[in-house]
Amino acid sequence: MTDSPRSIAETDPALPPGADQERFAGYGVMGLPFASGHYLAFRHFAASSIGPGYESVWHRDPAGQWVIYSSVSPEASCGRYYGSALADARVENIAVTWTGPFTLTVEIPDVLVWDIELGRSVATKAMTGLGAMMPSALWRNPAVLSMMSRIAGPALGVGRVRLRGTAPNGQWFRTNPRMLWTVDNSVAHIDGADIGPPGPLPEQTSLGEFWLPQRGVFAVGQAYFERYDAARHQVASPGT
């Protein structure tokens, strides 16, 4: 694969088909743990079936409390699926700036400055190649996704992986990370303080059945969720 993550990420993605589901397409760091106990992730979904495209930043503090910052309301972003597991969900201006083919910065004014350097490994190259060859029908197949989840964890060294499951608010989810890169280096400042070097958490963390990786992984792909049903699913507000 010769294209850089920047060249691929800056290409506007098409919204995947599936009118009976809520759909998103874009890129982001699936997750990055820090030795201090902090955890960061971000999403840049340029295409969304439930509203405008948006950015979100997920932050877990060392006490285990999650906050998701989004550029649109929680009802039209990640809080729609994860809100009940959060301490807070906030609407903020979020900037994602590519500073080179493999480097980018994520910023929330007065909250976060996060510099990220990406790379490749044998495992990410292999899984990206596999993703390019797989037809869309296989990406929708539960048995295939379960098999890929079992393979991806050990291959990438990220701990437990689930590409399908149930989000905290009750909707099922399915993730299709078609292209992968490693996070080779990262420096993050939260409220002006350096949170230290990346490193795995003592225990892997999850939100519902979505497990956050124990090593930094950057992905380009799609995400699918069950349509919201007020009779069966929790609302986007944290703690409800």
Per-residue pLDDT tens listing for the chain (240 residues): 458 999 998 898 999 988 899 999 999 999 999 999 999 999 999 999 999 999 999 999 999 999 999 999 999 999 999 999 999 999 999 999 999 999 999 999 999 999 999 999 999 999 999 888 888 888 889 999 999 999 999 999 999 999 999 999 999 999 999 999 999 999 999 999 999 999 999 999 999 999 999 999 999 999 999 999 999 999 887 755
The H or E element that residue 146 is part of is: helix 142-156
Burial of 68 (0-12, 13-18, 19+ CB in 10 A): buried
Contacts of 2 (CB under 8 A, 6+ apart): none
pLDDT score, position 2: 56
Sign of CA dihedral 213, 172, 16, 145: positive
Residue 50 CB-density burial (10 A; 0-12 exposed, 13-18 middle, 19+ buried): middle
d(CA 45, CA 25): 5
Half-sphere exposure of 165 (CA within 13 A, CB side): 16
Question: How do strand 88-91 and strand 66-70 relate by DSSP bridges?
Answer: parallel
So what's the pLDDT on residue 188? Answer: 98
Q: Which helix (H) or strand (E) holds 122?
A: helix 122-133
pLDDT, residue 236, reads: 82
- The pLDDT score that the predictor gives to residue 237 is 74
